[in-house]
Structure 1
Amino acid sequence: MFQEGKVKNYQAERGFGFIQVDGESRDLFFHIKDMPNRNIQPQIGEKLKFRIVEEKGKFKADNIVRLDLKAEPLHQGAGSPVRESNRAAPRDQAGSGKAKYITLIGLVIIAVLTAVTYGKYRDYQAQKQQKAQQLMLEQQRIIEEQRQAQGKLPDQVLTEQGRKNLASRPEQIQAGRLPSRAPAEQGNARPAADSNQAPVFKCDGRTHCSQMRSYEEAVFFIRNCPGTKMDGNHDGVPCERQFNR
């Protein structure tokens, strides 16, 4: 791991000196042979970056980088080599800029995909809720029509019958083409609308569906007459097969 420090002192005639390491109280030995640009004498206070290694039982600085030196020739003559660290700097900066650009593009793509996915999910939830509302409204409408056609039957019976009617026409409900009234319901509604007075029934000992002349008569018998055998599943709807209920 590289550390940083400053040249504390240097003995030019002996070629070594000491570095004041940042954040530490002890000084670190260095030799001129371990520094690049040996022809340029280290200056007191010059900033360095280095590794601490052990040699012959003592610690010293190695792989020294001189941070204060600018890119300049090692020798005064023309064609002298330039410091390797300064040549590498532009390449490092270009690589860093490219990595940042790629990262930014990746973040933009992720944000776009997230927005598209959320939009599709929201549309799906809206369609699902709309279909559920349509089914509820249609079932309520069927129940009201049954009340008008059949009288005040229990809500449980009306709801069960409404579900059967909905199940018999799922494609029309999904397509939004809901008929105003099922044919069977229209047939049951006409007698009530055309007649000014409801038919009068009375308990006369009949107990089976084969003895009933109408669905309304069967409803009257199971509600008011004892011993009837017309509602096997006890759901309040008598003679379901006979009257297509």
Structure 2
Amino acid sequence: MFRGQLTQWNGEKGFGFIKCDVFSQEIFIHISALKHMSRAPKPGDYIHFDVEEDQGKRRANHARIEGVKAKDQSKSTSKAKLQHSPKLIYSVLIIVITGFVFERFSVKTNEPIKYQPSLNSKLAKPIAKEQQQLSEPTKKFRCDGRQYCSQMTSRKEAEYFNDYCPNTKMDGDNDGIPCENDSRF
């Protein structure tokens, strides 16, 4: 550890220079090297420091001001925790409120979303006729993005998805019968 005298200090920018007999040039010091001290340095203070090379220039680090006490670390860390606590509490509160509002006001329906089959389908029926043929057990199905036979649990579900949901890939020959080669059904 070296000892030198602070010759210059710019309090606004938080840096200065130390003159030390061991070195031919003054050593740069940043306020971050003294952040644990109870007061800011001023010209004329004696500084104890280590030196590190930073991009070819010498810089003081792990420094302390001679005759000045260090801050009580337990108080500063608890104070820092208290300063960040309201931010954390507000963030969590906003997330909870947003979730509640979204859940409360989101549209919920048990009705299936009905789509008219493509015009290319040979078995395209008018929408009104499809609604008449919609039996009670198929009302439990709804379009949720599934497209393939391997994602279906029954033949009725596959038929519902093929008739009412867009972009399904279960009727390879476009005859209106989905999953013809699936041995599970």
TM range (shorter): 0.3 to 0.5
Query: Rg bigger for which structure?
Result: 1
Structure number with the bigger relative contact order (C-alpha 8 A, sep ≥ 6) is 2
Q: Tell me the TM-score normalized by structure 1.
A: 0.28
